[in-house]
Structure 1
């Protein structure tokens, strides 16, 4: 007999939600981090204990015999005979150390993610499905693939909440400076020094964008201002941060979405583009930034 078990979270999605499943997974682990940071909450335990007592007190007097036999048999594996009825409902002892131990296990690199979706039909039936690892399960004939989830962080260790939150705060502060207009005008360099190191490097370069003059490497706080001047050459009214993931070791990855319109050519795109931006944080400030352009050729075409 083992004392190990799975802690399961089930999420049902609409078709639109299914198209953003990785973002939802990232949000789930962000919430888990918030719960872990808050620590064990005895008041919540007391509320749950009271609810369980109510459930037990109002349990049906005459459950179906087969249901009762099955539940009692399973309960005998966990409780002494005199506690078989009450045991599954009882929350008698507050153990903060046990709660902390469980919370420490709920990390992204300690999980299994099962995704069932109609969205996999075409991929699983394609000619190269075998090469991509799609297999038919022996017993239920379900077609499935086992894979390591990529960028969206499910391989990252998110346990170091304090460090990761500090890194994330530095990046969020920078974005708030952009939004407030602090990284523009005569006071830009002074503002940039508040959020970035003197030797900060902003790498927005891409060999696939020869017509985009601003796609280059910027250096120092003044470089941040120059990068801001480049951003001012196109409109992006729907710009938003899709997600922000942090490693706890000085790295923050941001996924951004935007529909740019270049002012000089008045060209735009039909649907939003997504980029990844990797930040390195040191001593509470931005040390470097690297843009991974999602559609560099499309973006380049807007400038000529």
Structure 2
């Protein structure tokens, strides 16, 4: 039985993969969180990999605190870059196939067309810089790596935009949401299915891929959709990025072109509202 190691198992994507294991009983899954697979300890990474000896590694683990990364660049680099380099090197040397998860933040946001995988990378913040270095380290140390860039991830697990908006709408009469950053949300459950489908198909085509749900919206549009689907009375107002300063700059446009992953792996990508409805139903059910 092939063994799949999933790092960052308590994060949004790792948690969604965990829910799908019952449909993939042909694999032996090992889920590792930061308590047993600390990405800031290179020796511990190698020790754990040697112990588990997986056939596939899905690296969901990452430093994702975008604003805090501005004041913790060394730690962000250690987790998003150095650790990936170590994992990629081990997988290459031990006949293990690696799927590494990356981000739309490797782009500067100056495009006006959906971004292809080979578009120029000019990150505008420390988080994006470290994730880009991680991508490069993955490819340099394991030429058979598959890298999946995704964007605006949300789920019923962890902290994310959907859960934050639901909370704010329950607490306030009016909320302000940025309306000049354009991209597309990704329901982590959809991405989890794609990742496992890639492994299950045995059609391993190395390289960089883009995946998000289908949409071209702003964060404001996303919040309005949440408001409408939950019948909230909260007044959602759009504001410019300049009115909502953050420590880390965000790309103004990071919509990903998904044609490559769609064509190679014959994937049907849901519209973002279809997936948002599924997630909201789960969140509402669990809150009852």
- Using the size of structure 2 for normalisation, the TM-score is 0.25
More helix by share: 2
Which has the greater radius of gyration?
1
- Using the size of structure 1 for normalisation, the TM-score is 0.24
Larger relative contact order (CA 8 Å, sep ≥ 6): 2
